[in-house]
A and B are shown apart, each in its own frame.
Chain A
Amino acid sequence: MNRSAEAERVTKREEGTGTMRSGALRSWAWLVALAAALPLPGCGSAEDSPNSGRVNAPTNDPSEEPGSSMTPEEQIQKILDQRKTDYGEALRTASLKLRDRLPDFAEIKQIENAPDEAAKKAAYEKLVDEMIASPEFSRTMIKFWKDTFRIGQVGQIQNNVNRDAAPTFAAQITVEGRNYTELFTATSNTCPTYDAETNTFQPANCPLPTNAVEGPTVGILTDPGLMAQYYANMAFRRVRFVQETFVCSKFPAEYSTNPVPMGNGVYTAAMPFTSITGKENDPDARVDFHDTKATVCANCHANLNHLAPLFLNWDENGALRNSPQVRVPIPGEPAARRRDFIPDSEPLAWRVGKTINDMAGLGQALASDPDVARCAVNRIWNYAMSRGDIVNDLATVPDAVTQPYVDQFVASGMKLKETIRAVFKSEDFTKF
């Protein structure tokens, strides 16, 4: 409905009924009408006005009901075709995403004054390039990675462990156009600092935390801040951080093609049931991961237990020690041992058939896993499209949507900055 007409209609109704004669009441009624008339997008999907900036995904059109004559692809295309390119809106959104601020008036005018759509597109893309080259992009990327890693230094640094280090390193890799897999493979300079005045990242090794022993550096996988942030019993929270942050899914991590009914459920993991510790292979097991009475523990722990032993020796302050520092949640809370997770003869593994020996091996496994590359791209996609966290907000992205970006990402040296550039210039981003 035309917004002016709507406001007028409301006003006439007020005057006709004579119920809102006072200035204050009339003002508030007008405010409600105005707020209702202006575009207030809801639920991330739809508005009914062509000028609203959002597209009405669902309709009551019977042709879009399941089972109609339209194929799913045609239905998708029909909905997507309702979007309209709006470089002014795109500039505002891109600026908030890439610089954490609104565009300046002069920038808005560059779009507005462009004579035609092609010129608007060119102006918009130039501005996106400028935003990505700006110092504000570096700061915004640090914030992006803080939110992604759910970590940030609050107050004074304690025990020589800086919780800004890992997100700053991830931001450095992003901003400098370096290979994303350095996050898992870098052997030095993983605790950089950022100088906002010069917009430069200062490479630095992570300082040795209080009471720590020296150990190899493996990207952010050995970051003291992350180790402290995700300290928990049996190191499972650290493993979950890796899985959920870099693979974009919760455990169970993989599935067997031949699920086996077991106890009160079905064993679905790909690894052999007895490849982890439990009463079936160790009567003295302190935690029975073979338990199937309430749920099939092994569905998740098949993978969890093959990784957790890598993370045992970091204490709650993120200091690497010579012995396990995480506890087993049983009376007495003893320190965890490798055999609490997997039998002594069982190798560590990233996935079934992908054994690893140490943290560097895990880093290599992550770097070569296509799911990790896809996850990185999907996180950028969701960030750009305001879809929330892919894991916590269940904002999964169908492969078809981001496949071109994944292909480009992998083919061009896994430079996340270029993926960001491509997504923010994409047709999907600039249509509303």
Chain B
Amino acid sequence: MKRTFLTLLAITFAALSSSACDDTADSLTNGQPTGGTRTPQGPTGGDDGYHHNDGISAPGSGEEVVDPVQVRVVGSPEVTSRLHGCGKMTVASLDHLLRSRGLNGGGQRPQGAQSGRQIFDARDTPAALGAANYDGRVPEAPFSSTSAISKMFDIFTMAAYDAVAENWEAPACPGVRLLEGGKFTRDGLTCLMGKPATEEHVAIANDAIAQNPTDGAKIAIAALLAAAHTCQ
């Protein structure tokens, strides 16, 4: 009985979570429609070049059917329109992040392990990151897929080895040190995050070092990079 209740609870939570993401669900398939009568194909699809839909509301005129549940969970269209979404960092931006923040594979890492830069440069990485496929009329994905987030985290995890290197230098942050006396500097974290770091960021990152003097700094950097750059 208890298990059934927990299962139902989990399903309910999952349903609410997915409804919260309704307006961006298509993005997880690079803008391809996921089915349903209200999501006819865009110009990307259809072998015959046209598609029959049964659209019933005037398009683009504010007469879209609004699901009351969605309004309750994520807000009305006007509210959601005025809030920043969680856009994916572009492949070019990620490339620039690695270059400008001194994360180009210069750190000491475990034998045989790839650097963040090497993972980024791998042939299959652009597709995993949602790069455009213009031959297929597919633009760069505006939102992260699971594979994109996973790949970015792989990159950030290994890039952390570069950031903790003694000779770390970020071209975009001249003169800035990330670690001084075994502790993170606020400017260093600001550099990595691309926005002003708070004292809270510094404290939590230094706490990682206190917890694990060997790998804590790398773990903190990977987590900070992932948290800061998961959304554009």
Residues of chain A whose beta carbon lies under 8 Å from any beta carbon of chain B: 3-4, 7-8, 11, 23, 26-27, 30-31, 34-35, 37-46, 51, 53-55, 57-58, 64-66, 72, 75-76, 79-80, 83, 88-89, 91-93, 95-97, 100-105, 108, 111-112, 143, 146-148, 150-154, 163, 229-237, 240-241, 244-245, 247-255, 265, 268, 294-295, 297, 299-300, 304, 329, 371, 374-375, 381, 385-401, 428-429, 432
A295 to B37 CA separation, bound complex (whole angstroms): 12
Chain A residues contacting B190 (CB-CB under 8 Å) are 105, 108, 112
Contact A35/B48 with A43-B21, A43-B86, A385-B81 known, Cβ cut-off 8 Å: no
CB pair A237 B81 closer than 8 Å: no
Interface centre among A100, A244, A386 (most CB of B within 10 A): A386
Q: Which partner residue on chain A sits nearest B42 by CB separation?
A: A392
Chain B residues contacting A35 (CB-CB under 8 Å) are 223, 226-227
| Size band of the interface chain B makes with A | 35 or more
Contact A38/B60 with A44-B80, A96-B232 known, Cβ cut-off 8 Å: no
CB pair A101 B54 closer than 8 Å: no
CB pair A58 B49 closer than 8 Å: no
B208 at the interface (CB under 8 A from A): yes
B90 at the interface (CB under 8 A from A): yes
30 contacts between A and B (CB under 8 A): A27-B212, A30-B208, A31-B222, A34-B204, A41-B84, A42-B20, A43-B21, A43-B74, A57-B83, A100-B90, A101-B92, A102-B93, A105-B172, A146-B134, A150-B43, A152-B132, A232-B46, A232-B48, A234-B50, A240-B43, A240-B49, A249-B61, A295-B52, A387-B80, A387-B87, A388-B143, A389-B139, A393-B24, A394-B39, A395-B23
CB pair B20 A43 closer than 8 Å: yes
Chain B residues contacting A389 (CB-CB under 8 Å) are 31, 42, 139, 142
CB pair A111 B232 closer than 8 Å: no
Contact A7/B73 with A45-B20, A101-B100 known, Cβ cut-off 8 Å: no
A295 to B60 CA separation, bound complex (whole angstroms): 22
CB pair B211 A11 closer than 8 Å: yes
A248 to B61 CA separation, bound complex (whole angstroms): 10
Interface flags for B163-177 (1: CB within 8 Å of A; 0: not) read: 000000010111010
A141 to B193 CA separation, bound complex (whole angstroms): 24
CB pair A66 B71 closer than 8 Å: yes
Complex interface: stretch among B4-12, B105-113, B118-126, B194-202: B194-202
A64 to B142 CA separation, bound complex (whole angstroms): 31
Partner of A396, one of B49, B64, B216: B64
Q: Which partner residue on chain A sits nearest B143 by CB separation?
A: A388
A230 to B203 CA separation, bound complex (whole angstroms): 54
Chain A residues contacting B48 (CB-CB under 8 Å) are 232-233, 329
Query: Which residues of B (8-29) have their CB < 8 Å from a CB of A?
Result: 20-21, 23-24, 26-27
